[in-house]
């Protein structure tokens, strides 16, 4: 039996289904999680389906999250989507269900779950959800709202179809989603709009960006500065692509200071492979887009040096 049918079989088997995603969610995490939940609800109205995780104010327009009691995990199917590594899974209760499925498009370096479906060639986990729907041939029902959420997830993870993970198949999936009744224009505008705080932060990034000798770049966003412009960690996500707009920059890092003095690290690249570097610093991800952690200034300086080395040795071949 192909794995997509095995997943559908498990969905049919359980009366309660709880879907988790990664911490500090992006549009694909919320879109794939909530889109899948909406599809299962429409396909099996008698089932209880929940999407869990800490609220994300900046992405509440895609979907809300559910607050549920611990006892709902008894005899529940748990699906973790768009999360490569166990430490990044939002809500530790994912281990307390009766059966665990991992659905993801990141490199499968942390193999967890009773059933694992990972497609690293997919642009996003939202694309993966539509692949599941298409492969089970009528076994799952897509609603207009589910299509809206999945479209938002794909747009987010492909950088509006600008990143190399965008394939002909991605565009076929997008065309399939656009046949449903929702406004792609409103979603595109929503994802392109920025607040006054993000506008200020954008200027700060360009003013304070450091470009190294070998064309790596980095900027440090302190907790105090983000507070001063009323932006937190999640609010800084919109500025991550900005250094890459500079022609000379090959790869870059955004260091976002946390309340405890550590740093969340967002790594991006136009060519040098960066996910191995991320893995060395409590992270992981895609070859061109990864995340990591730095416990202090010494560690973030170590990451900067390694990033510069990657840019130095990159040949572009």
Which residues in the chain belong to E strands, given as ranges? 16-20, 48-51, 77-81, 99-104, 115-118, 210-211, 216-221, 251-257, 263-269, 284-285, 289-294
Measure the CA–CA gap between 122 and 261, rounded to whole angstroms. Answer: 35
List the chain residues with pLDDT less than 70.
Answer: 1, 232-234, 316-317
Q: Is 92 exposed, middle or buried (0-12, 13-18, 19+ CB in 10 A)?
A: exposed
Q: Which DSSP string do the residues of 198-261 spell out, in sequence order? A: HHHHHHHHHHH-EE-TTSEEEEEE-HHHHHHTT--TGGGGGGTTGGGGSTT--EEEEEEE-TTS
Q: With the C-alpha atoms ordered 89, 254, 151, 200, is the resulting torsion angle positive or negative?
A: positive
State residue 164's pLDDT score: 83
Q: With the C-alpha atoms ordered 61, 20, 237, 109, is the resulting torsion angle positive or negative?
A: negative
State residue 24's pLDDT score: 83
Measure the CA–CA gap between 88 and 242, rounded to whole angstroms. Answer: 25
State residue 316's pLDDT score: 64
pTM here is 0.87
207-235, pLDDT tens digit by residue? 999 999 999 999 999 999 998 988 766 67
State residue 234's pLDDT score: 67
- For 83, which DSSP code? -
State residue 179's pLDDT score: 98
State residue 302's pLDDT score: 97
- Do 16 and 77 meet the contact criterion of CB atoms below 8 Å apart? yes
State residue 317's pLDDT score: 47
């Amino acid at each position: 039996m192909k794995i997509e049918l095995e997943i559908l079989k498990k969905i049919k088997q359980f009366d309660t289904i709880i879907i988790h995603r990664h911490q500090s969610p992006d549009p694909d995490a919320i879109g794939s999680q909530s889109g899948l939940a909406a599809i299962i609800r429409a396909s099996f109205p008698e089932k209880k389906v929940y999407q869990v995780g800490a609220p994300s104010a900046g992405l509440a327009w895609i979907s809300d999250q559910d607050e549920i009691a611990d006892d709902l995990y008894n005899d529940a199917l748990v699906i973790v989507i768009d999360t490569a590594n166990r430490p990044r899974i939002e809500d530790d209760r994912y281990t307390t269900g009766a059966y665990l499925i991992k659905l993801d498009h990141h490199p499968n370096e942390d193999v967890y779950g009773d059933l694992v479906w990972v497609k690293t060639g997919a642009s996003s986990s939202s694309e993966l959800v539509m692949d599941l729907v298409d492969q089970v041939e009528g076994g799952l029902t897509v609603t207009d709202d589910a299509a809206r959420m999945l479209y938002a997830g794909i747009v987010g993870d492909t950088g509006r179809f600008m990143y190399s993970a965008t394939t002909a198949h991605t565009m076929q999936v997008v065309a399939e989603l656009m046949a449903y009744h929702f406004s792609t224009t409103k979603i595109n505008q929503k994802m392109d709009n920025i607040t006054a705080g993000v506008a200020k932060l954008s200027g700060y990034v360009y003013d304070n960006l450091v470009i190294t000798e070998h064309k790596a770049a980095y900027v440090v966003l302190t907790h105090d500065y983000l507070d001063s412009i009323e932006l937190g960690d999640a609010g800084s996500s919109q500025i991550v692509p900005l250094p890459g707009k500079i022609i000379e920059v090959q790869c870059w890092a955004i260091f976002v200071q946390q309340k405890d003095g550590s740093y969340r690290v967002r790594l991006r690249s136009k060519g040098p492979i960066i996910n191995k570097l991320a893995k060395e610093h409590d992270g992981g991800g895609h070859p061109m887009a990864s995340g990591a952690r730095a416990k202090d200034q010494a560690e973030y300086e170590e990451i900067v040096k390694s990033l510069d080395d990657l840019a130095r040795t990159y040949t572009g071949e």
